[in-house]
Amino acid sequence: METSEAEKEMREWCVALPKVELHAHLNGSVRNSTLLELAKELGDKGVIVFEDVKDVIMKNDRSLPECFRLFDLFHILTTDHDTVTRIAKEVVGDFAAENVVYLEIRTTPKNNEAKGMTKRSYMNAVVKGLKSVEDVDVVLFDSNLRNDETPMSDLSGDTKRKKIYVRLLLSIDRRETTSAALDTVNLAMEMKDQGVIGIDLSGNPVVGEWETYLPALEHAKDLGIPTTIHCGEMKLELSEQQVPNRKEIQAMLDFCPQRLGHVCCLDDEEWKKLKSSMIPVEICLTSNVMTGGAPSLELHHFADLYNAKHPLSICTDDSGLFSTSLSNEYYLVASTFGLSKTELFRLAQGAVEFVFADDEVKKSLRAVFERAAAETLAS
């Protein structure tokens, strides 16, 4: 009984904690209730069989290959302009509700001729969703920065409107060609004044080759667009695939992106290289354990990197797909690795330094954490 009271108090503390989310895929962050509603609509139209889809959505344990099959299904459910707008709006609302004060959402711009969709129109639909959030102040453009210093997260839980900075990263899917990847980078450049500030490389790690995306990532670098790369997310079982995988991890580290995602399966040399690089790592505990990138929470490489004082940020990856939240991920850090509230707070605060937004935003976020420190750490 006592434990559950303590757990409840800690969980509430993690919700109240101001947080920075740097690794969240739009289509992986959709609420299950929304997916079910969309599936029902398509079921009624005879496009899919609702009962089959329902079971897949509600299933909890998922291997990485299953995740990618599921994403193909999600994309059938979500990929029309109005639905993209809806999910973008909901996802921002959900993060803001748990006191995320700065959010980088990443999403793969999609061409879909049948729906009259281009990568640009897909992104316009995302931006429309971000602009249509009603209950929360969404700050989407740097030029919109206001000078007021209204606390964005209110730890005493009063009714002040929440405020959240939102920025967009455009993902290159590993299934894409060099030219499609280049299109995505050029689109990011075109949409710089609409909250797009970075490029991500993601998708099924057993698909595609580093050399295919490299020209696009180099192009981003030339244009001064920051990049984050999914790196070493899972062990490749087949021996003939282990070679390119090792080569790929090396190449990714050599590329020196601004951040790396996951880094679950590095060998000793690569760990050394990563640690000396000081490239910040986006840590996704639940995701890695559910997809097998990490053997268990207790054995997750978070502990090693944290003890080595490597720059880290705690992230959800796919909060919908893995039924988690950023507050829950912080709770798991505390309950698994025994971090104190002060250490947890410093971890959340530290992530401010790794955001892709400009210095003005960073300054404002630092102030949010400074203000929150006294109250949060006193309790």
Contact segment (CB under 5 A) with Zn ion among 128-136, 181-189, 310-318, 343-351 equals: 310-318
For residue 43, the minimal CB distance to ligand 6MZ (Å) is 21
Cβ partners under 8 Å of residue 85, min gap 6 = 125, 126, 128, 129, 132
Q: Give the residue nearest to Zn ion (CB).
A: 317
Contacted by 203, from ligand 6MZ, Zn ion, none: CB < 5 to 8 Å by type = ligand 6MZ
For residue 357, the minimal CB distance to Zn ion (Å) is 19
Q: How many residues does the chain have?
A: 379
**By the 8 A CB rule, do 74 and 116 touch?**
no
For the beta carbon of residue 100, count every other beta carbon within 10 angstroms.
26
Contacted by 325, from Zn ion, ligand 6MZ, none: CB < 5 to 8 Å by type = none
Structure tokens at 302: 């978070």
For residue 67, the minimal CB distance to ligand 6MZ (Å) is 5
Please report, for the chain, how many H helices and E strands are present, in that order: 15, 9
Handedness of CA 21, 251, 271, 68 (dihedral sign): positive
Which residue among 15, 67, 312, 348 contacts ligand 6MZ (CB under 6 A)? 67
For residue 342, the minimal CB distance to Zn ion (Å) is 29
Residues 187-206 that bind ligand 6MZ (CB under 6 A): 202-203
- If you search the block for the tokens 């289509």, which residue do you land on? 27
For residue 335, the minimal CB distance to ligand 6MZ (Å) is 22
Contact segment (CB under 6 A) with ligand 6MZ among 19-27, 46-54, 138-146, 215-223 equals: 19-27
Contacted by 80, from ligand 6MZ, Zn ion, none: CB < 5 to 8 Å by type = none
Contact segment (CB under 6 A) with ligand 6MZ among 23-31, 34-42, 132-140, 364-372 equals: 23-31
327 binds ligand 6MZ (CB under 6 A): no
Contacted by 282, from Zn ion, ligand 6MZ, none: CB < 5 to 8 Å by type = none
First to last CA, the chain: 21
Which residue among 94, 270, 318, 329 contacts ligand 6MZ (CB under 6 A)? 318
Provide the residue type at 327 as one letter.
Answer: S
Residues 286-305 that bind ligand 6MZ (CB under 6 A): 287, 291
Provide the residue type at 264 as one letter.
Answer: C
- Give the angle subtended at the CA of 219 by the CAs of 187 and 180, to the nearest 5°: 50
Catalytic residue among 233, 270, 282, 329: 233
Is residue 328 within a helix (H) or strand (E), and if so which, with residue range? helix 326-337
Of the candidates 251, 254, 187, 253, the residue with the CA atom closest to the CA atom of residue 225: 187
How many Å apart are CA 101 and CA 17, to the nearest integer? 10
For the beta carbon of residue 104, count every other beta carbon within 10 angstroms.
27
- If you search the block for the tokens 């880094």, which residue do you land on? 263
By CB atoms closer than 10 A (0-12, 13-18, 19+), residue 258 is: middle
Q: Is 365 helix (H, G, I), strand (E, B) or coil?
A: helix
Which residue among 317, 322, 328, 334 contacts Zn ion (CB under 5 A)? 317
230 binds ligand 6MZ (CB under 6 A): yes
To the query of whether residue 233 is one of the catalytic residues in this protein, the response is: yes
For residue 232, the minimal CB distance to Zn ion (Å) is 12
Residues 104-123 that bind ligand 6MZ (CB under 6 A): 107-108
Structure tokens at 187: 């689109």
Contacted by 286, from Zn ion, ligand 6MZ, none: CB < 5 to 8 Å by type = none
CA distance readout (Å), 306 to 13, 203, 259, 311: 21, 26, 16, 8
- If you search the block for the tokens 């919109």, which residue do you land on? 144
Contacted by 183, from Zn ion, ligand 6MZ, none: CB < 5 to 8 Å by type = none
Which residue among 16, 17, 20, 26 contacts ligand 6MZ (CB under 6 A)? 26
Contacted by 288, from Zn ion, ligand 6MZ, none: CB < 5 to 8 Å by type = none
Which residues are annotated as catalytic?
A: 233
Binding site for Zn ion (CB under 5 A): 317
Binding site for ligand 6MZ (CB under 6 A): 25-28, 67, 71, 107-108, 171, 173, 202-203, 230, 233, 287, 291, 317-318
